[in-house]
């Protein structure tokens, strides 16, 4: 059984101007997404600036999100690390708070061989009982989960059930879908490739864009699954300019500015991320106006 089907938002982490986590705004964001039909919340992922959160902040955000969601929507916690022991620590703590699943990124910087990835994910999965989504994003981590490795893990580790595929390599996803033959759920990790992955049997998307167009991102997946491919395609193509603007600088710089422009929360970032360049802010504003958000 899938952890979720549809649109999971890779949620931003709201900060106060002094850099502290703004839990009041976090609660408001959870309510905003529930009201706008988001199908799952992914807390403390890349978009949530998890890499600049202390362990205490990281876990506090996960615990708060679970409490705010109150079982109305699945909460999936980002608990990955390039240190297996740290990933196990974060994962076991998150499980104790009642999360519905974990999103575990591949080891970054020190990377890993495919053998190392199998050992890493197996050790984390064996430390918890909740289902795990592997997160494959080679452009950030320098580490690629090959289709054969993903399928091996899904077939041999009971609670490894899904993969967020953000390699951008459609040919690799085609091979994954063929080898898996349904043994692993596939989620798009790229907002401009939702339909291609759905056409390969994907279950949905873990989305940055859903931070600002949650209902349309949900509808894009839902319409496809209902057989209304024409409307799903319209929504995908309509969002492309917005996607381009949201990734004109490294994520989550633009989406943090976008939620600020919408008045959802402040746009404060933690270093080494810095304020968006003025010309890119203009590009983002124009894309949001063209879409009808502003």
Mean pLDDT of 280-290: 98
How is residue 276 written in tokens? 């968006």
pLDDT tens figures, 43-92? 999 999 999 999 999 999 999 999 999 999 999 999 999 999 999 999 99
- Mean pLDDT score across all residues of the chain: 97
Domains, the chain, ordered by start: 6-229 (3.20.20.70)
How is residue 28 written in tokens? 């408001």
Q: What is the pLDDT of residue 280?
A: 98
Q: What is the pLDDT of residue 2?
A: 83
Q: What is the pLDDT of residue 52?
A: 96
pLDDT tens figures, 253-262? 999 999 999 9
pLDDT at 1 over 70: no
Give catalytic residues, as residue numbers.
Answer: 135, 164
pLDDT tens figures, 76-132? 999 999 999 999 999 999 999 999 999 999 999 999 999 999 999 999 999 999 999
Mean pLDDT of 186-211: 98
In angstroms, the Cα distances linking 224 to 41, 154, 219, 236, 292 are 21, 25, 8, 10, 23
């Amino acid at each position: 059984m899938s952890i979720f089907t549809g649109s999971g938002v890779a949620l931003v982490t709201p900060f106060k101007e002094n850099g502290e986590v703004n839990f009041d705004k976090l609660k408001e964001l959870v309510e905003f997404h529930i009201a706008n039909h988001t199908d799952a919340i992914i807390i403390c992922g890349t978009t949530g600036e998890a890499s600049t959160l202390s362990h205490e902040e990281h876990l506090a955000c996960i615990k708060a999100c679970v409490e705010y969601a109150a079982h109305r929507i699945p909460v999936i916690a980002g608990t990955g690390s390039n240190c297996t022991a740290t990933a196990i620590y974060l994962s076991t703590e998150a499980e104790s708070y009642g999360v519905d699943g974990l999103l575990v990124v591949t080891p970054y910087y020190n990377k890993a061989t495919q053998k190392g990835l199998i050992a890493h994910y197996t050790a984390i999965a064996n430390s918890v009982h909740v289902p795990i989504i592997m997160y494959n994003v080679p452009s950030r981590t320098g580490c690629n989960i090959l289709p054969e490795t993903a399928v091996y893990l899904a077939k041999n580790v009971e609670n490894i059930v899904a993969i967020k595929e953000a390699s951008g390599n459609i040919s690799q996803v085609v091979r994954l879908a063929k080898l898996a033959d349904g043994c692993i759920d596939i989620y798009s990790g790229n907002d401009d490739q939702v339909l291609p992955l759905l056409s390969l049997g994907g279950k949905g998307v873990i989305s940055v864009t859903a931070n600002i167009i949650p209902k349309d991102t949900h509808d894009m997946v839902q319409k496809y699954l209902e057989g209304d491919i024409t409307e799903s395609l319209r929504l995908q193509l309509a969002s492309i300019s917005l996607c381009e603007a949201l990734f004109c600088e490294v994520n989550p710089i633009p989406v943090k500015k976008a939620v600020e422009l919408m008045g959802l929360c402040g746009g404060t970032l933690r270093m080494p991320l810095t304020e968006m360049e003025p010309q890119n802010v203009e590009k983002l504003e124009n894309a949001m106006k063209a879409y009808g958000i502003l």
